[in-house]
Amino acid sequence: MINLTRLKKAAKLLQTSNASIGEIGTLVGYASSAHFSRNFKRQFGITPSEYAQGK
């Protein structure tokens, strides 16, 4: 089950923070950066790195 609250927080951090994708995933509660990235892409349709680049 995807936790939308965590992913929205991660999206905000991706836009406002200089932290790495892995660090942001950990900050919002994911033990695995791969799991975080997979869920992020399922929810938003793009990868966290694409989101951070503003695509």
Residue 17 lies in domain: 4-52
CATH number, domain of 18, equals 1.10.10.60
Query: What confidence tens digit (pLDDT) does each residue in 7-47 have?
Result: 999 999 999 999 999 999 999 999 999 999 999 999 999 99
Please count the residues of the chain.
55
At 55 the pLDDT is 67
CA distance 19 to 53: 13
Q: Dihedral through CA 34, CA 42, CA 12, CA 14, nearest 10?
A: 40
The DSSP code sequence of 1-53 is: ---HHHHHHHHHHHHH----HHHHHHHTT-S-HHHHHHHHHHHHSS-HHHHHT
Give me the number of domains the chain comprises: 1
